[in-house]
Chains A and B, each alone.
Chain A
Amino acid sequence: MKLLIFAGPPSAGKTAVIRQIIRQLQNEFPIAFLKIDVVRAFEDEELSKEFGIPARKVYSGDVCPDHTGILVLRDAISWADDLGAGILIVESAGLCLRCTPYTTQSLGVVVLSAVGGTNSPLKMAPMIALADIAVVTKVDLISQAEKEVFRERVREVAPAVDIIETNAIQGSGLRFLMKAIRAAPDITAPDEIVLRGMPPLAVCTICAGKKEIGWQHHFGILKTLDSADDLYRGE
């Protein structure tokens, strides 16, 4: 089974790209889908209804969605494996631009919208730098010159990332993504899968719902106004 991990900011077109993958590869590989989101998500129901594939979601609630994604990923691989899936697609919530949810033994895909602004690739550098493929969506809305400038910005962050430009609704250009997915290796040792990078995945006390301001009320990695370094207070 192949593992595809999708990241990218909200409204970039992650689900539109995933739809095209399911549409084009469903006959070659049984596909299972997992959506991680914070409070509400509909992708699992939509994709399951549209394509008849097994799909489910996990809500992270008060915890960081990428943290949740990592916690449930091993279970998800077993779930998809038991169903006989050939591809498991995991779609992240797309909130933290600092996070890189890609793992070893997976194909990491970041989805970026071409209308996000010239500097957007710089703002989500970690998310792009560790991906295998950057899919740039909505290119039908920008000019040739803007496309080239946007590509240059992505290259600044990740010189080697494979860039694929598309209008994901039409599916133009995605034949190169399908080619990469077909060529991606299967998971060989699921228990050895680790994160590729070091994302800030700590669950902090604020994430967990403690609302008091001031570091004195919190524990874990803390910071005071005047100290240059972080301090740690365990509990």
Chain B
Amino acid sequence: MEPVAVTTITILPGKAKDGSRESFEEITIHPGDMISIVGPTGSGKTAFINDIEVFACGDTVTKRTILVNSEVPPDDMVRDPARKPIALITQNTKCLADLTVQEFLEMHVKARRIADESRTESTIRLANEFTGEKITGTMRMTALSGGQTRSLLIADAISISSAPIVLLDEVESGGIFKENVIASLKSHKKAVLFVTHDPLLALLSDRRIVMRNGAVGAVLQPEGREKKNLSLISDMDVFLSRMREKIRAGEILDDEVPVR
């Protein structure tokens, strides 16, 4: 059976931690959308993307409802992970599968019934674009670093799961090239929702959902008004990564690191 093409995901309001109804009417996500989710710790950011991931239908703590193509999704889309149009990359950076990278990807390719044998190779290649620590097929999944695991799982979500919607929970914390990840997701026309505390990632999104007290507090659409600050912070980020790399390489930063 061919999977149903997902044209929209709609989020209907639920309840805040104090029991009051969320104020938005609905939030609709289309393919290619870049949406960031911001807010203080404990404000409900992770719960928000978890609701999307499980296709909540009033059965989670938040009481939100998720629709696919404006309808309650069919059971097989909700229940069979291989038919699910959503891939969630959690904050958890440990993989529990005690297999080599190659074996793990092969099992996933098999689960997805993909005939293309080169898919595991291309997935590893893509993962290596997201991390500076080289990943090879013979490494054990349990021995990968946090950054390697996240890179591999994101690459897997793009090329094996081929999920049209990717949910990322604090992708910046995993020691990966976050801008490469966003660029790759964009080039694959994924709808991406990411929980983030990183100002650069937040400004890279088209829409920003602000969480407060377990509820959606606001949905911002800056529409280019943040351009100046985006270029400023982009430069700062390059500067900081350059400094970070030097520190990681064991250097003493006695010379001034050039800002540009």
Contact = CB atoms under 8 A, between A and B. Distances in A.
Contacts of A81: none
Interface string B151-167: 00100110011010000
Interface stretch (B105-113, B199-207, B211-219, B229-237): B105-113
B79 interface: yes
A143 B50 CA distance: 12
A145 B59 contact: no
Interface in A131-183: 140-149, 151-152, 163-165, 170-176
Contacts of A152: 107, 110-111
A38 interface: no
A58 interface: no
Interface in B61-101: 61, 75, 78-82, 84, 86-90, 92, 95-99
Contacts of B143: none
Nearest to B160: A145
Contacts of A175: 57, 59
A144 B87 contact: yes
B98 A117 contact: yes
Interface residues on A, range: 20 to 34
A149 B107 contact: yes
A151 B54 contact: no
Contacts of A146: 95-97
A156 to B, nearest CB: 10
A146 B59 CA distance: 24
B177 interface: no
A118 interface: yes
Given A115-B96, A118-B99, A171-B59, A145 B153 contact: yes
A152 B96 CA distance: 15
Contact of B90 (A118, A143, A151, A172): A143
Q: Which 8 A-B pairs rank lowest in CB-CB distance, beginning with the nearest? A: A152-B111, A144-B87, A172-B54, A148-B111, A149-B107, A118-B97, A148-B81, A145-B156
Interface of B: 50, 54, 56-57, 59-61, 75, 78-82, 84, 86-90, 92, 95-99, 104, 107-108, 110-112, 153, 156-157, 160-161, 163
Given A144-B157, A148-B81, A173-B54, 9 more contacts: A118-B107, A140-B50, A143-B90, A145-B87, A147-B81, A148-B112, A152-B107, A171-B59, A172-B54
